Amino acid sequence: MSFARGWYDPASWNPQIKATLTMVAGAPFPRVGHSLAVVKGRAYIFGGERNPGQLANNDMNVVFLPAYEGQEVDYTSIPARSLESGGAIPAARKGHVAVVIGDAILIFGGELSDPNTETEKEGRVWIFDTSSNAWTYLDPAPETPYPAARHGHAAASSELPEPRDTAAKPDRDILPQQPPEAGEFPPEPADIASWGTLFIYGGMALKKNADEEGKSELLNDAWAFDLRTKTWYPMPPPPGPARTGASLVCVGNTVWRFGGFDGQSYIGDVVDKLDVSGLWSFGSRGSALGELAFASGLGEWESSPYVAGPIARADAGAVEVVLGGRGYVALVGGQGRGSKGKGKETAEGQTEASGEDDSTRVFDDIWTFRVQPLRARSTQVKNPDDEQQLAPELAENSWSHAEYQHIDNEGDVKKDDESIEVMNQFRSLRRRAGFAAAKGSEIEGSSFVVWGGVDGRGAVRSDGYMVTIET
């Protein structure tokens, strides 16, 4: 496997989009094929491999995110324990997914060392409560469908449907014309994992046992799990081939899908989306999402081809970011085949491109994809640099390539001199395959975290970056 800087059409590059990187190092958690979740300024790392072929244990590893690069990083490992005495805990795994709803981390799927592990029930969603640092789980409601066990799939989440009203009742009678003062009876916190929706897509179906004949099956199905009713809902099948390594993100009422690998080719040049607003209006009434299939159904996926944008790839990180009050998806790295580029390997184990090559490459680029249209002030674009003048059809579904800038040990942006330009070419995110990326609700709207992965020499990284996208 060789490494090359991400290829892009210079005409699509917007130099006003910048990715500010703050390195996070010093925590002894080398990981690949792991999951990452960010809650209240802490990065939670679960599963994966410590070295190729060496599965990590089932501890939850926590990194306290620093304020600036060079700050000493605090970290801890939390042995797995159940919320209930003698309850089940998740086994070690790789190739699983993690999302955050409230203060809970949801884990689904993954490849275990023993596929017949008793605690791994079909359709089960594992829940890590960051308040108690303990595990629980949600199993599908009886006699309801559920997705096949899998690894290499993609996931996204939404806080909708929101928690039911959990306001405490007063301990005395109050006349209707004399309601209690605001804040006198504050609402009780909702039970953990009692609201929201988990989305999953694709991946590779797991064999039921090691002796099962035949090859593992690539999947092209999409599911929504309603935490409130513990119901898996099969969503309309997405277009295109089955795949692993796709990227999935939910922004508002829309689920977006990008990329993947179909077993022969990397997939790109198109972004697919599905309007899931029907789930919110239906789920808010407290009914199972699964009933929606018979009530009204969802629409079909829509595809938006593009010419200028990221090259076809798989295993890219995808997170929602907010710029200027508008929704974007940030697409980070991944691996694919360069449109050109044979190269010599540098000391960092990376590749400088020259000529043509069809080998697998790992990208270090970051792209932003605008997913919410702007409100046009005029039908004509008077100033292309003024976003407020762009018509909706020009503003939505467009890619911009981000330029890197780095934060120094003093917390300041390093000057854009020649040495930094050289460093940008070879440092950036320090190209990595099999990394994880995640955004926390309490983090600034345009920021996210990247952790782990494998470098150009096959070594598993034990570092990461805090990334802020800005204009």
Element holding 364 (H helix, E strand) = strand 360-370
> CA-CA distances (angstroms) from residue 102 to 159, 195, 297, 362, 470?
7, 9, 27, 33, 26
Find out whether 140 and 146 touch, Cβ atoms under 8 Å.
yes
> In this predicted model, what pLDDT tens digit does every residue of 296-350 receive, in sequence order?
568 899 999 998 899 999 999 999 998 888 889 999 999 998 654 333 333 333 3
- Greatest CA separation for the chain: 81
Please state the domain extents for the chain.
2-166+192-470
Q: What is the pLDDT of residue 224?
A: 95
Which burial class, exposed, middle or buried, applies to 355 when counting CB atoms under 10 A from its CB (0-12, 13-18, 19+)?
A: exposed
Q: Let me know: does 231 contact 266? Beta carbons within 8 Å.
A: no
Which residue type sits at 115?
P
Q: How many Å apart are CA 285 and CA 280, to the nearest integer?
A: 9
Is residue 200 within 8 A of residue 222, CB to CB? The reply is: yes
Supply φ then ψ for residue 390, to 5 degrees: -75, 135
Residue 356 corresponds to which amino acid? Answer: E
Q: Which residues of the chain have pLDDT under 70?
A: 1-15, 118, 164-190, 208-215, 282-297, 338-358, 373-397, 407-427, 441-444
Query: First vs last Cα of the chain: how many Å apart?
Result: 34
Does the domain spanning 2-166+192-470 belong to CATH 2.20.130.10? no
Report pLDDT for 193.
78
- How many degrees, rounded to 5, is the angle at CA 215 between CA 209 and CA 218? 105
Rg (CA), the chain: 23
pLDDT at 16: 76
Q: Tokens for 442?
A: 């309490």
- Comparing CA positions, the residue from 392, 198, 355 lying closest to residue 276 is 198
How many Cβ atoms sit within 10 Å of the Cβ of residue 281? 13
pTM of the model: 0.83
Residues 6 or more apart from 109 whose CB is under 8 A from it? 93, 95, 96, 97, 149, 150, 151, 153, 200, 203
